[in-house]
Amino acid sequence: MTLIAYGTRYGSTEECFDIMINELKDKNVKIINLKTAKEKVNINDYDKIIIGGPINAGRLNKYVRKFVEKNLQTLLNKKIGLFITHLEPVESAFKYFETNYPSKLLDKALVKSCFGGALYFERLSVLERPILKMITKSSANINQINKENIINFAKKINNA
């Protein structure tokens, strides 16, 4: 069984899962939003665990960080795939693995991948909207979800 444990602030990370689910050979996949999940999930029930979420101001979503911190010892005995969603180019975003996930888990992970991301201005808070407009130099929505990276990630999980 496969678990996808994720964080999101504005929902775009969830767009990656339709692509991933289609590619995963295991059809017994449980997806949990680490902030809103009501039921308690026993991670011991899963042999493959996919973990990730968005980068905001250089930091990985805090619910993902907490999940990893709390379950690190168990996770070290699982088949692990790690991902981030982001808008910086992959070459500069990849460093966020080193700065946000424990090195033991990074060493253990079978795959680490940058999925790209999306930004929908209408979902941002009134404080964030002008800041993101300044950074992106536009107020147009952005969708840079990298389908190819998600498919390759799923293939590596299939082969694990």
Ligand X SMILES: Cc1cc2nc3c(=O)[nH]c(=O)nc-3n(C[C@H](O)[C@H](O)[C@H](O)COP(=O)(O)O)c2cc1C
Site for ligand X in 22-61 (CB under 6 A): 54-58
> Counting contacts by CB under 6 A, is residue 12 touching ligand X?
yes
Contact code string over 78-117 relative to ligand X, x by CB under 6 A:
-------xxxx----x-----------------------x
Residue whose C-beta lies closest to ligand X: 117
Is the CB of residue 83 less than 8 Å from the CB of residue 112?
A: yes
How far is Cα of residue 123 from the mean position of the Cα atoms in its chain? 19
Residue closer to ligand X, measured from CB, 57 or 134: 57
Task: Compute the distance between CA of residue 107 and CA of residue 97 in angstroms, rounded to an integer.
Answer: 11
57 residue type, one letter: A
Q: 44 burial class (0-12, 13-18, 19+ CB within 10 angstroms)?
A: exposed
> Counting contacts by CB under 6 A, is residue 154 touching ligand X?
no
Question: Which chain residues interact with ligand X by CB under 6 A?
Answer: 8-13, 54-58, 85-88, 93, 117-119, 124, 128, 132
